Structure 1
Amino acid sequence: MGESIYQAYEDEIECLQEEIKILEQKAKETQIYSQEFLKTMHLQKEMFDVQNPESWKYSNTDLEAQIEQTESQIALLTQLTGIGFSQHTVTTVSEGNNKTKQCRLSGCSHSLHFELEFELTEIQTEKDVITTVTDLNIILELNDVYNLSTFISRTEERKNLLMFFRTFSIFAKWYEYRQVTFRHFKEKYPQVVKLPEGSSGEYMVLKCSKLTGIELKIFWKILVSEEGVVTPVLDLLTKIPTEALYFDTGKIMDSAPNSFRCILRLHGIEAAIECLIGLCKEP
């Protein structure tokens, strides 16, 4: 009796194991079928998107949004740095594991245009890719600024693109500010202010209408060191007829440059120039 019960249990266990195997096999077949079904549906969807232009409007909308976002970011970057790019071409030359990119870049900083020709060499190492500037040529529309030309030559030797962009943007900002300031006073006081070299020149002349023959020259230079430090320097030069010197007993004309520098430190550039013009023009 006991052996028959054990035999019945063993038979039932074997049946259960057989059912489990059958279920596992069906589960595998179902999983494979589901994967194939999903893959087929995905391919059909892609074919539908290609054949149905109505579906394109969603991707186009996303693309337009990305373009607008990129343009706004570029506009913000240009506003912050004062540098904008108008043209960029790249030619890649491969030599074994190394790649050389020959680049040409055009743009402007404030009102000054520039062109760059440089080479980027990429060297593949075991851990990373090292990129270095191996050649640099800078072309500017300004050729008569000695300090800037010296800095550009130094930058080309060092092949330092970052220093060029940083220094040139600061220089261009001061250059444009000087132009705007000279133009402003020329338009405001046309009878007093003269610009022999135009608004892009380095000096302006104030003709004193109260006393004939007396002129004040305001020199405004923008110095650039070899290390890229930009420094605006303003100075005053006086011109007075010899016969008028006898009446200048208080040596006012001799002390004028120092007085002008003091006003600059206390009130700034525009206020200092305005003060000198007030001395020259008719009341």
Structure 2
Amino acid sequence: MDQLLHQAYEDEICSLQEEIRTLEQQAESNGIYSDAFLKTMDMQREKFSMQNPQSCSYADLEAQLQQTESQIVLLTQLTGIGFTKCTVTAVEKGNEKAKQYRLSGYSHSLQFELEFELTEILTKENVTVTVTELNIILESNEFCDLSRFISRAEEKKNLLLFFSTLPTFAKWYEYRQVTFKHFKEKYPEVVRLPEGSNAEYLTLECSKLPGVELKIFWKIFVSEKGVVTPVLDLLTKIPAEALDFETRKVVDNAPSSFRSLLRLFGIESAIDCLIKLM
């Protein structure tokens, strides 16, 4: 981002310097420095002085930097996406102008990298900018539904859809991690995380009920249109010798009862109720 800002300053400075030289040449050729011309020159020099970083004091630059950093923090909070690196390369494609971008960023605890190309297409009416190439790389490949969604976004070159979907998925993913860790610490004798807190399920075991095991699956589905939906379900494992008539009814009704708890009390309260029953 600093490189882009610096380049913008340089381009503006060169443009202003060229404009000043042109005005001076015109005045010299006419042999007259009119009041209007001198006023224009003063305005251009003042603008150049304001845009030229070298003419700014350290305090001014520090204030501008702090303001920029505050704006970036606010933007990250509003969008749920932050960027750590950005490089831009200009590409010539005949009469079309294109720029290749490489971005590194994050959304909550998920890291990602983007490579995309923006092409300016000239028409008789206006100029349109289109994403002509898109490649998305996630730090982890364990998210099956998200990976399928990303493949479709790359195919359709829909960069905006990716940016609007990732923060919601990352928020649910982080919430699941925190919830699993919370119950593991609160009920260490009952809760197991065989594949860690990043996995899609936790296991409930009770020493008073040997062989009885409950698994709470917590999946995060992503639709083709980028709709993120958390889905929780319960899977039971009961030894055959424990499945008398009454017990089988309880086992058969357990998943639907758990879904009812979810609707009534929410995710954390429903899981807590189930653990206490164990």
Structure 1 length normalisation: TM-score? 0.78
| In 1: Cα distance, 2:42 partner to 2:159 partner | 52
Aligned-partner SS, 1:251: helix
Aligned counterpart for 2:132 among listed residues 114, 128, 134: 134
Q: Count residues with an aligned counterpart.
A: 243
Q: 1:250 to 1:153 in 2, by over 3 A?
A: closer
1:88: which partner in 2? 86
1:273: which partner in 2? 271
Aligned counterpart for 1:97 among listed residues 87, 95, 101: 95
1:11: which partner in 2? none
Q: Which amino acid in 2 is paired with 1:79?
A: Q
Q: 1:67 to 1:214 in 2, by over 3 A?
A: same
Q: 1:215 to 1:99 in 2, by over 3 A?
A: same
1:177: which partner in 2? 175
2:71: which partner in 1? 73
| In 2: Cα distance, 1:179 partner to 1:220 partner | 10
Q: Which amino acid in 2 is paired with 1:243?
A: E
| In 1: Cα distance, 2:45 partner to 2:98 partner | 43
Do 2:189 and 2:206's aligned partners in 1 also have CA atoms closer than 8 Å? no
Q: Flag the structure with larger Rg.
A: 1
Aligned counterpart for 1:187 among listed residues 185, 191, 198: 185
1:145: which partner in 2? 143
| In 1: Cα distance, 2:263 partner to 2:41 partner | 77
CA deviation string 1:252-276 (max 9, x = no partner): 1211111100010111000001001
Q: Which amino acid in 1 is paired with 2:196?
A: G
Aligned counterpart for 2:194 among listed residues 193, 196, 201: 196
1:123: which partner in 2? 121
| In 1: Cα distance, 2:226 partner to 2:207 partner | 41
Query: Shift of the alpha carbon at 1:249?
Result: 4.6
Query: Shift of the alpha carbon at 1:209?
Result: 2.9
Q: 1:40 to 1:181 in 2, by over 3 A?
A: closer
CA deviation string 1:165-207 (max 9, x = no partner): 1111111110000001001111111111100110000000010
CA deviation string 1:24-56 (max 9, x = no partner): xxxxxxx9776688789899999x99xxx9x85
CA deviation string 1:107-145 (max 9, x = no partner): 011000111111111123344321100011111122132
1:27: which partner in 2? none
Structure 2 length normalisation: TM-score? 0.79
Query: Shift of the alpha carbon at 1:72?
Result: 1.1
2:238: which partner in 1? 240
Unaligned regions of 5+ residues in structure 1, if any? 1-30
| In 2: Cα distance, 1:127 partner to 1:88 partner | 32
Q: 1:35 to 1:150 in 2, by over 3 A?
A: closer
Aligned-partner SS, 1:120: strand
Query: Shift of the alpha carbon at 1:67?
Result: 2.1
2:158: which partner in 1? 160
| In 1: Cα distance, 2:143 partner to 2:44 partner | 64
| In 1: Cα distance, 2:198 partner to 2:251 partner | 27
Do 2:146 and 2:222's aligned partners in 1 also have CA atoms closer than 8 Å? yes
Aligned-partner SS, 2:195: coil
Q: 1:137 to 1:248 in 2, by over 3 A?
A: same
Aligned-partner SS, 1:149: helix
| In 2: Cα distance, 1:248 partner to 1:279 partner | 17
Query: Shift of the alpha carbon at 1:229?
Result: 1.0
Q: CA RMSD in A?
A: 2.8
| In 2: Cα distance, 1:176 partner to 1:261 partner | 22
Do 2:212 and 2:237's aligned partners in 1 also have CA atoms closer than 8 Å? yes
| In 2: Cα distance, 1:68 partner to 1:261 partner | 49
Q: Which amino acid in 1 is paired with 2:219?
A: K
Aligned counterpart for 1:259 among listed residues 257, 260, 268: 257
